[in-house]
Structure 1
Amino acid sequence: MIDDENDERPVLDNHLHLDPDAHRGIDAVRDFARLGGTHLLVVNKPSWHLGVEADTGEDFRPVFERTIDIVSDATAELPGRAWPVLGVHPGLISRLVDDRGYSPDEAREIMQGGLDVAAEFVARGEALALKSGRPHYDVSEAVWDASNAVTCHAFEHGSELGCAVQLHAEATEDMTAVAEWAEDRGLPAHKVVKHYAAGRLNGPTPSVMSDKDRLERAAERAVEHDAPFLMETDYVDDPDRPGAVLGPKTVPRRVRWLLESGHEQAVHTAHVDTPALVYGIDTEGTLERA
């Protein structure tokens, strides 16, 4: 457990997945809370992992609804709360083009349609943010261009709704061009969040994978440059890959390690200041300890 004097501290995992049917689900949330975790941003699993092979944007609706259901259940287990992040995994474009015979433009239309549906949930206050991005592996130029168009479509929704957009993308420490695409559409760069980020990133706000080396770099940068960052596990809740990517206990454990290493301000940045800046959420005000 986190030490008693830190019992009132928010501890947020910014990006993980929960399977509503097939794996640990709420048990993973209980593990997170037991170690001192308080808040979660739960991203819907890829649509095909929940048995949905989308042909239209409307086909994503049950994926989003199931995610919202398990987020509600997760909130009941937390001293803080959980929020849904809804969108279309960028890897879907390869599934649509390579496996199902759609053209890149047709795949783009399906994926943009899914984002349109996700945006409905954000507009109604049922979800906090959107998810989009582009493949982190080599693809054809046509697929790359279509993926970037999908990403920009998410930015347009983010601008209209005033919400953040989490991105799944290639490993890099410089996404200034992508952040500029967002700003060109009226979405501030700090509301673009690169999930699975390293400890340093130019452009969007980094959601840093919670291994010690990355967090050390992020913590130092937060202090030296007043740079925002978030912490995540990208826990996938997959019965075929138990514990992947990092387990649900990781963020609370890494918060304790950061505090023991003297990174008090960086912890506050990641779990209070940055969530407020990026998402407009109050992790302190929504925290109730028994």
Structure 2
Amino acid sequence: MDAETPVLDNHMHLDPDAARGMDAVEDFVRLGGTHLLVVNKPSWHLGVESTDPEDFRSVFETTIDIVADASELLPGRAWPILGAHPGLINRLIEDRGCSPAEARECMQGVLDIAAEYVERGDALALKSGRPHYDVDDAVWDASNDVMKHAFELGADLDCVVQLHTEASEDLTEIAEWAEERGLGRQQVVKHYASGRLAGPTPSVMCKKEWLETAAENGEPFLMETDYVDDPDRPGAVMGPKTVPRRVRWLREKGYDDAIETAHVETPKRVYGIDTRGTLG
């Protein structure tokens, strides 16, 4: 790998206690990785089972701390992305006895707190979305309301909202919801995207066929592993070495422009971050 080539994993989770943590970061660096966007783990994985949004601050503080540790190891740096995993709505309803409306209010409150960290400059972006599995209409509608609230916050803060949603190659409606609230569709990032997506900016999972599709399209895209840092699933979803390995593969295939797009141009355009300028 060229030492001057930034290599960004756009969606990774890190656990400071229960899993590999900094060992995963070291694996990423060893293969040529330089920059990370670290998304807070689902709150229940960090021991928070609450209906009080204030209790979620510990999730965010833990994420910010581990990002600081990761930045010490990286040739570039890491940034935190904070918010409410869309699966939280089912935890609140099924385990905590909330109605869909109560769950919606809790999750919107969690996003309000996450937005405080973005406003202070302690986090880069917000995380939201809706379930990728079947839910009833009331839960679906409440989840969409949570996501729309995230867009309102993103517009106020001029920050990205990174989404966890169902698999789709057309999320134009979601992009339009963001634009109606003042957030540009390029600042809506679809986590776990395939190589083709209408609407938001795709964060493409590192399957070779998906990356080749994205590279051939010539449109802005990012790359990710969705590494979950779970001791029960040590390589899931993809291991921390995957993005640098796929960058090498893209280089071998002659997709130099796509590497520049995914690791320099799109991060700058979407998040306002300078991956080349923060190397070294």
How would you bin the TM-score normalised by the shorter chain?
over 0.9
Q: 1:42 aligns with which of 27, 38, 41?
A: 38
Paired position in structure 2 for 1:201: 197
Paired position in structure 2 for 1:245: 237
Q: Note if contact 2:6-2:279 (Cα within 8 Å) is conserved in structure 1.
A: yes
- Structure 1 residues 38-70: Cα deviation after superposition (integer angstroms, max 9, x where no partner): 000000000000000121211110000000000
1:116 aligned partner, one-letter code: D
- Structure 1 residues 162-216: Cα deviation after superposition (integer angstroms, max 9, x where no partner): 0000000000000000000000000000000000000000000000001101101
Aligned: 1:98 with 2:94: yes
In 2, the alpha carbon distance for the partners of 1:247 and 1:277 equals: 27
Gaps of 5+ in 1: none
Matched position secondary structure for 1:14: strand
1:235 aligned partner, one-letter code: Y
Paired position in structure 2 for 1:267: 259
2:264 aligned partner, one-letter code: V
Aligned: 1:257 with 2:249: yes
Paired position in structure 1 for 2:158: 162
Aligned: 1:214 with 2:210: yes
In 1, the alpha carbon distance for the partners of 2:180 and 2:167 equals: 23
Q: Note if contact 1:192-1:205 (Cα within 8 Å) is conserved in structure 2.
A: yes
Matched position secondary structure for 1:76: helix
In 1, the alpha carbon distance for the partners of 2:215 and 2:50 equals: 40
Count of aligned residue pairs for this structure pair = 280
Paired position in structure 1 for 2:69: 73
Deviation at 1:21, TM superposition (A): 1.1
In 1, the alpha carbon distance for the partners of 2:52 and 2:145 equals: 17
Q: Note if contact 1:38-1:79 (Cα within 8 Å) is conserved in structure 2.
A: yes
Q: Note if contact 2:193-2:204 (Cα within 8 Å) is conserved in structure 1.
A: yes
1:23 aligned partner, one-letter code: A
In 2, the alpha carbon distance for the partners of 1:34 and 1:260 equals: 19
2:45 aligned partner, one-letter code: H
Paired position in structure 2 for 1:282: 274
Deviation at 1:7, TM superposition (A): 1.3
What's the C-alpha RMSD, in Å, of the aligned pairs? 0.5
In 2, the alpha carbon distance for the partners of 1:20 and 1:279 equals: 25
TM-score of the superposed pair, with normalisation by structure 1: 0.96
Aligned: 1:8 with 2:4: yes
Matched position secondary structure for 2:167: coil
1:244 aligned partner, one-letter code: A
Q: Note if contact 1:54-1:110 (Cα within 8 Å) is conserved in structure 2.
A: no
Paired position in structure 2 for 1:60: 56
- Structure 1's consecutive aligned runs of 4 or more residues displaced over 3 angstroms after TM superposition are none
In 2, the alpha carbon distance for the partners of 1:262 and 1:104 equals: 49
Matched position secondary structure for 2:73: coil
Paired position in structure 2 for 1:174: 170
TM-score of the superposed pair, with normalisation by structure 2: 0.99
In 2, the alpha carbon distance for the partners of 1:251 and 1:26 equals: 17
Deviation at 1:100, TM superposition (A): 2.0
Identity of aligned residues (%): 73
Q: Note if contact 2:51-2:96 (Cα within 8 Å) is conserved in structure 1.
A: no
